[in-house]
Amino acid sequence: MKSTLYRAWLQYSPVQDAELREAYRRVLGTIVLEGRQSELLDSAIEELRSGCRSLLDIEPELLLLGNEMPQLASNEGISSGLQLRVQPAADNVQDLEEGDNSAPGKLGPEGFRLQYLGDSLQERVILIGGSEKGLLYGVFHLLRLVAAHEPLTAWNVTEEPVNRLRMINQWDNADGSIERGYAGRSIFYRNGRFTNDLTRVKDYARLLSSVGINAISINNVNVHEIETRFITREYLPQVAQIASVFRKYGITLYLSINFAAPLHIGGVGTSDPLNEDVRRWWRAAADEIYSHIPDFGGFLVKADSEHRPGPFAYGRDHADGANMLAEALEPHGGIVIWRCFVYNCMQDWRDRSTDRAKAAYDHFTPLDGRFMDNVLLQIKNGPMDFQVREPVSPLFGSMKHTNQVLEFQVTQEYTGQQRHVCYLVPQWKDVLDFDTHAGGQGSYVKRIVSGSLHSMKLSGIAAVSNIGDDENWTGHTLAQANLYGYGRLIWNPDLTSEEIAEEWTRQTFGNDEAVIKTVCGMLMKSWPIYESYTSPLGVGWMVTPHTHYGPDVDGYEYSRWGTYHFADRDGIGVDRTAATGTGYTAQYFEPNARRYETLEDCPDELLLFFHHVPYSHRLKSGKTVIQHIYDTHFEGADAAAALLAEWASLEGRVDPAQHAQVAARLAEQAEHAKHWRDVINTYFFRKSGVPDEKGRTIF
């Protein structure tokens, strides 16, 4: 029996309420499946059966009505039960536009319709998938409703994912380590080899599929020596095995590649993207990959970024590099996902004219329109690097002729490393709901990445995973909510953070209303709390270099990374205005550019990202900057301690193993928050000499 920690949100805890259980048993006792047998349907049935066994303690009777039994092709005679059906492919709506209701009867290939039909004589639930994959998503949704104790009469939903590409990126290395991983070692690799036991990979596929993820890249974007060879005959049989595990759950496999592979392992002597031998080498590599994995997704590429090789070495640009790979993959239907995390990581801190925040826009906007149709640019949510608070990257909306993917970070590199609780869905929602004004008012990021604003050929959302081989997958059990929430949010960006938190809590901890209220409350305030005792007002980077954990205010101040706060005795912040600063604000469309440019209009939470101000500057809140720093740090550390107390009140109401795990982490967070508080407050008190109005202890 798998532990509660391991089962995450797929607990399928027994429904205790007798009446409800009976109602579910009546309709789930018989499952009628119309359709041909397929891997995806097998997964759907397997999930349904194990779900019913565990939730309802029943072994549903399965009737197959398919090509095997054409004489039973109608459903007459079946009085009650669950009827599963796949819509004929000819009826699929291929490119379902956002909010398109023109074809109410038809589903997109990943959509499903779940309907309860009950009267006094018979009770049926019909689940129709737009394809086998849609049906699988529908099964997970149905089980979610049972786990949340939703009454049958409320089972009437039609769902379509809003985003086409819904991807997770593993930063796993072949040696078993995970770059920026905070939950143990890799579940894919150990000591330079693929793991033999794929049980865990399968359970990961189930978790991902249950929230609608449909793509995965399985190795770090920093591609080292062994991983460079993943695209060769030597490793492809093993990659293919992993691909087949994910395929059964509707997830397409991708690999991160090394741009210099032709040079390093191909014996070509160059990796120049315009060299004919190099192009031939990549075409052959693609042919080889597809002979092992016919539905291989494509390549994820970090090039000319943080010392990774790329086209610059040959005087070529990103479009040359990406198109060369795209050309090799195109005959097979593969795509290239090219990352925009490109900046000068060898900057001189004395150089005040270079601004890292501007780099991605400056590199990529001139290339708009030059990328092939099967290339997507993957853009981090902010212009810097997954800080607790950043503005939205100005690249969104600025390339109308280029496919775009938004990149989030589920792993909590700068947000407490899964030792602190930090529910990130509200942060991601801020990004998705940001109005870029690229095509006038209402040009939200979510409409750009769903492809509806500029009608892109391909688009979507990707994120760096937060899992490892820790028993509970994510180190902190509450961090499971981020992986769950990521999938649910990108399926439907209009879900609220609260709705997602509640769904997750019910499935993970059960339906005790006191537990739900407390856990959801804790999740919802966790990001503001984390922000309050760490870097203030959007300035970022006050972390220990390299590990990125814990406070070090000047850790990055005199470094090469382009990450400065410029605190002195008078003030703090980065002047990124067009008038007197780096000019970054001008990368936004109006009215955003003016809003950020103008000190009075710039939102408080981003003030120090855009402006250098004296400590005496008054925020919209009425407080001075320095008093804001003191207040938030004192309050933040208190709030972290309060989280621990709230959680303690749930002892006996949640599973003991889960309770103990979270309690231990919250205790650590409360201690560490005090450390953050004192380091930050002391630093600014010493710099500014301004005492705390409330006379609290500062060292």
Beta bridge partners of 334: none
Q: What are phi and psi of 559, to 5 degrees?
A: -100, -175
Report the distance separating Cα 496 and Cα 487, nearest Å.
Answer: 13
User: Cβ of residue 411: shortest distance to ligand GCW, in angstroms?
Assistant: 9
3-state secondary structure 577-617: CCCCCCCHHHHCCCCHHHHHHCCCCCCHHHHHHHCCEECCC
Strands 61-65 and 112-118 turn out to be: unpaired
Strands 193-194 and 189-190 turn out to be: antiparallel
Beta bridge partners of 464: 169, 409
The alpha carbon dihedral of 640, 644, 650, 654 has a sign of positive
Q: Which one of 390, 413, 470, 575 is the catalytic residue? A: 413
Q: Which two structure tokens, joined as six digits, stand for 7?
A: 């089962």
Q: Which one of 172, 385, 470, 531 is the catalytic residue? A: 385
Report the distance separating Cα 488 and Cα 335, nearest Å.
Answer: 24
Q: What are phi and psi of 652, to 5 degrees?
A: 90, -15
Active site residue 306: yes
Angle in degrees, CA 543, 186, 301, rounded to 5: 75
Report the distance separating Cα 348 and Cα 356, nearest Å.
Answer: 11
Burial class (CB in 10 A: 0-12, 13-18, 19+), 140: buried
User: Of 489, 459, 490, nearest to 95 (Cα)?
Assistant: 459
3-state secondary structure 354-386: CCHHHHHHHHHHHHCCCCCCCEEEEEECCCCCC
Which are the contacts of 699, defined by CB distance < 8 A and separation ≥ 6? 678, 681, 682
Say whether 213 sits in a helix, a strand or coil: coil
Residues 61 and 155 sit within 8 Å (Cβ to Cβ): no
Give the DSSP per-residue string, 216-276. EE-S-SS--HHHHGGGSTTTHHHHHHHHHHHHTTT-EEEEEE-TTHHHHTS--S---TT-H
Residues 305 and 256 sit within 8 Å (Cβ to Cβ): no
Q: Which two structure tokens, joined as six digits, stand for 94?
A: 């291929």
Measuring CA to CA, how many Å separate 564 from each of 284, 352, 386, 531?
A: 45, 10, 15, 18
User: Cβ of residue 126: shortest distance to ligand GCW, in angstroms?
Assistant: 44
Report the distance separating Cα 131 and Cα 40, nearest Å.
Answer: 10
User: Of 318, 324, 322, nearest to 304 (Cα)?
Assistant: 318
Which are the contacts of 178, defined by CB distance < 8 A and separation ≥ 6? 170, 171, 172, 185, 186, 220, 468
- Crossing angle of helices 497-509 and 425-432, rounded to 10°: 150
Q: How many residues does the chain have?
A: 699
HSE on the CB side for 36, CA within 13 Å? 5
Q: What are phi and psi of 651, to 5 degrees?
A: -60, 135
User: Of 552, 482, 475, 478, nearest to 515 (Cα)?
Assistant: 478
User: Site residues (CB under 6 A) for ligand GCW?
Assistant: 171, 179-180, 221-222, 302, 341, 385-386, 413
Q: Which one of 57, 295, 306, 651 is the catalytic residue? A: 306
User: Cβ of residue 223: shortest distance to ligand GCW, in angstroms?
Assistant: 10
Angle in degrees, CA 641, 645, 651, rounded to 5: 145
Active site residue 225: no
- The DSSP element (H or E) to which 205 belongs, if any, is helix 199-210
Report the distance separating Cα 642 and Cα 427, nearest Å.
Answer: 22
User: Cβ of residue 344: shortest distance to ligand GCW, in angstroms?
Assistant: 14
Q: Catalytic residue numbers?
A: 306, 385, 413
